[in-house]
Every structure is written in C-alpha cells, then in structure tokens.
Amino acid sequence: MKRRFVEIVDMIEFNELVNMKRDLSKGGMEIDKIISDRIKEEIKKHEVCCSICNSKIDPYSTTNFTLIFGPEDLKKKASFCAIDCLEYFLRNLKDLRKDMGGKGSIKKEDECMHMNDDDIFDDDFE
C-alpha cells in the first residue's frame, strides 16, 4: 500500500514529530541518513533478478555483476547473474536499442524488472 508523505506524518506520534522538527532545524542530518539508508535498501531489492535470464541473483555471490550506465542526470542499473549474461547484454545492446527505436530503457515485462525510466540514481546512494 503506497502512502503519501502527509499520511505518514499523521501517523507519527507527537514526541517523534518534535524530535524530527528539532533535527530539521539543526540541518536534518539524522533524517537525511535515515532516508538515504532506506533508499539504499530499496535499490538493493531491485537487484534480485538477472536482467537477461531472470534467474535469481544471490546477493552474496562473487559472480554477480552490476552495470551502471546512462547520462549523469539519469543513471540506469542492470544486474547480471554471471559474466555470460553481462557479455550477452553488451554484445546485443546496439541491436536491442535499435529494436526500441533508439531510446528508452531495455526492459522485460515481468515481476523481476529492475528499472523504470523514472529511476534516477544519485552518487550519494552508490
């Protein structure tokens, strides 16, 4: 269930709101760290399937590869279960982009999709 920020603020207890307000008035470092950590968690959740073969990726395996690409203001991330899937992706990238009309992200329509065109990755979260 998605919630808007206003709804979440309504759910927070008064004492916690006062603590948050105090942190914001001092520069918001604690709130910034909490939000940055949460974003990192969400990014890791999207790295559970290989972009090519859709096999599950073991986050602790040393054979996983992640490719970050795109312009500075719009980074894309693709994860691969092994070097052969990464090589396939790189070898066929030109053909895949041509099939899509030369623009947009390369994606499959299933539950393991990593990225949308709206996903923006900032260097602070890498």
pLDDT tens-digit series, residues 68-116: 888 888 888 888 999 999 999 988 887 767 776 655 544 444 344 444 4
Give helix 14-25 / helix 29-45 axis angle, nearest 10°. 110
* pLDDT value for 119: 40
Block residue for tokens 């992640």: 66
* pLDDT value for 68: 84
Q: For residue 34, give the nearest of 17, 51, 20, 47 by alpha carbon.
A: 20
* pLDDT value for 48: 78
Q: Is residue 83 within 8 Å of 110, Cβ to Cβ?
A: no
Two tokens, residue 34: 């909490």
pTM (predicted TM-score):
0.45
Q: For residue 86, give the nearest of 43, 47, 51 by alpha carbon.
A: 51
Indicate if the pLDDT at residue 121 is higher than 60: no
pLDDT tens profile 20-58? 999 999 999 999 999 999 888 877 766 678 989 989 888
* pLDDT value for 21: 94
